[in-house]
Structure 1
Amino acid sequence: MKKTLALLLSGLIALSATACSSSSPASSAAAGSQAASGAAEKKLKIGIVQLVEHPALDAAYKGFVDGLAKEGYVDGQNITLDYQNAQGEQANCQTIASKLVNDKSDLILAIATPAAQAVANTTKDIPILVTAVTDPADAKLVASNQKPGGNVSGTSDLTPVAEQMKLLKQLIPTAKKVAMLYCSSETNSKFQVEIAKKSAAELGLETVDATVSNSNEIQQVVQSLVGKVEAIYAPTDNMIAAGMATVSMVAQPAKLPIIVGESGMVDNGGLATYGINYYDLGLITAKQAVKILKDGAKPADMPIEYSTNCDLTINKEVAAKIGVTIPQELLDKAGAASTASK
């Protein structure tokens, strides 16, 4: 009898222990809730590849980061930003693109056309936003700017090229021949130059191509223009923008005016521009990112967006050095908005 009672008691203890160790529906729900909470608190990864450092692209990046913060997405809190700069090298763009894809980024931002092309060629699954790309459709990044159709969307930095050529004619009325200074491998630059050539022809201006394939050629190419042209036009070309100090170093002593594609290039030695605000462009791109990350929007259905605000920027110091008189009406128009007007 004692042995039987001992066996029964042991069984009851075992059953009790088993019951205690089993998860009740309530405890399972709590565990599930904790897991869901952990998943919700997971930081989103946003990879960023920028072609090169220069004021326009830097401003677009800053606008993107600030725009995300305004929407509650702060680096180190609920998102992780992995910023990579390719230092102007296409091969680096491809390496960085592979890294960001392998790291399973939730979204990738590509700043400038070569960077965008590298990322778009690396993944067809991760959402990609591009910025500082003149014409995504022309660069083969999207099916069309209105209906991208794939995993790429973003913002265009198409500037008012025709207005820039009219500005050149207004500032240098005696000009007859204008050099188109750009990098031969940048599709965004070729697109703008074609518009510039058409506008120049309508204004009675002859154009000549002055292309470079790498930054080491800039000084020699600009030097070759001295005495052959009356002005230089440089679109929003990344290589030329990054090398504006070199362009200006040769052009200023030769009293060659340079009409450029954006205000950062004016700050670094260009004479003037009608240009868009790249910081604003970054803000617009950030809003697109929020639509994807928060609302589940698909890049395929998101049209390419544009900045509609263009400012006249004039560098009065450069004008004085090269002997160009700025009409009062342009000075009045530039006014306080021209950060380079000194």
Structure 2
Amino acid sequence: MKRGLQLLILVIISVVVLAACGTEDAGGDDATYKIGASQIVEHPSLDRAYEGFQAALEEAGLDVEYDYQSAQGDQNNLKPISDGFVADNVDLIFANSTPAALSALDATKDARDIPIVFTSVTDAVASEIVESMDQPGENITGVVDLHPEAIQETVKFIDTYFPDSTVGLIYNAGESNSVTQIENVLAAGEGTTLSFEERTVANSSEVLQAANTLVSEVDLFYIVTDNTVVSALDSVVGVANEQDIPLVVGEPDSLAKGGFITFGIDYYTIGYRSGEMAVEILTGEKTTKDIPVEYPPEIQLFINKEAAEEQGVEWNAEWDESAQFVETAKE
């Protein structure tokens, strides 16, 4: 009887010790965190943001296991991805793009203890991802990818150096981030010499046809940071080069694929800042409620000289003083 009691006490002590060790592993110096990372499609900007996110956690010394999944451009694939993260009870979800963030938020509606950090989102408020920039919500925060002045500066550039142009816009109307940007482009164009022609696409396979239908109607293409179109940007670049139509894009990574100019940001930077937020959340320093949504750092004029030549652009000496230059990536 006494021996049985001693064994019972030993079992209880062992359970307590193991539980304590497990708690230390979950939040101590030796903790291993599981992060579900999703993005709508693979293209250079989103990929750079993910690289920056990972770098921030690595530099903070966190041991992280990533479950990375791409929806391959199909928003229908995001729900099972996000639901899978919740089922696996990940420690945090990194949502890279507006569709990915919306899907993660919906999947965690009954699991608000799973924090979400997003980036590559154009307008988090208009997309109803967060309630406000200062008070993002119960379990979500992050960094948007659209500087408040980027579109205005881009339209101003076009109006200054390509006055009286008809500008071709191609976008996926199913992406709320793209709709917001197009609305901003049209608003910025009011009172200028510019006019606009729009084409919408449902998937990347339609981008080439949309570009071709605009050739006879436009003087210049302007491709915003639409995930569907950017994933098939080579199609637009080909048309722009063949037809001598300048191609304005929404971010520097698209310049490396053959765009002419952009007022853009470095997606690695916003991904890195999102990673810093994730570190604070995972280590218990802050919660999502403590971290306001942030804008990217200042924008910069970027120009691809090779693309300018390919697209028949007459060079302006002023650009030599104001622009940072990007080269077309070699295959």
In the superposition, the TM-score normalised over structure 1's length comes to 0.87
Q: Which residue of 1 aligns with 2:327?
A: 340
Q: Is 1:54 matched with 2:43?
A: yes
Structure 1 residue corresponding to 2:281, chosen from 288, 292, 301: 292
Q: Which residue of 2 aligns with 1:127?
A: 115
Q: Is 1:327 matched with 2:316?
A: yes
Q: For residues 79-134 of structure 1, what are the alpha-carbon distances to aligned partners after superposition, in whole Å with 9 as ceiling and x for unaligned?
A: 21111111111111111111111111111011111111111111121211111001
1:1-342 equivalent positions in 2, closer than 5 A = 15=2, 17=3, 21=7, 23=9, 32-42=16-26, 43-73=32-62, 78-124=63-109, 125=112, 126-159=114-147, 160-173=150-163, 175-335=164-324, 338-340=325-327
What is the SS of the residue equivalent to 1:303? coil
What is the SS of the residue equivalent to 2:182? helix
CA distance in 1, matches of 2:64, 2:25: 10
User: What RMSD over aligned residues (CA atoms) do the two structures have, in Å?
Assistant: 2.1
Structure 2 portions without partners, runs of 5+: 27-31
Q: Which amino acid is the alignment partner of residue 76 of structure 2?
A: A
Asked if the contact 1:183/1:211 (under 8 Å) is kept, the reply is yes
What is the SS of the residue equivalent to 2:68? strand
Identity of aligned residues (%): 35
Asked if the contact 1:48/1:81 (under 8 Å) is kept, the reply is yes
Larger gyration radius, structure 1 or structure 2 = 1
Q: For residues 160-218 of structure 1, what are the alpha-carbon distances to aligned partners after superposition, in whole Å with 9 as ceiling and x for unaligned?
A: 11111122234424x42112221111111111111111222232211121211111211
**Offset of residue 29 of structure 1:** 6.4
Q: How many residues align?
A: 319
**Offset of residue 326 of structure 1:** 2.7
CA distance in 1, matches of 2:107, 2:9: 46
Structure 1 portions without partners, runs of 5+: 1-13
| Greater Cα shift, 60-69 or 194-203 | 194-203
Q: Which residue of 1 aligns with 2:29?
A: none
CA distance in 2, matches of 1:341, 1:234: 17
In the superposition, the TM-score normalised over structure 2's length comes to 0.90
Asked if the contact 1:57/1:111 (under 8 Å) is kept, the reply is yes
Give the 3 Å change call, closer, same or farther, for CA 21–55 of structure 1 in structure 2: same
CA distance in 2, matches of 1:93, 1:22: 49
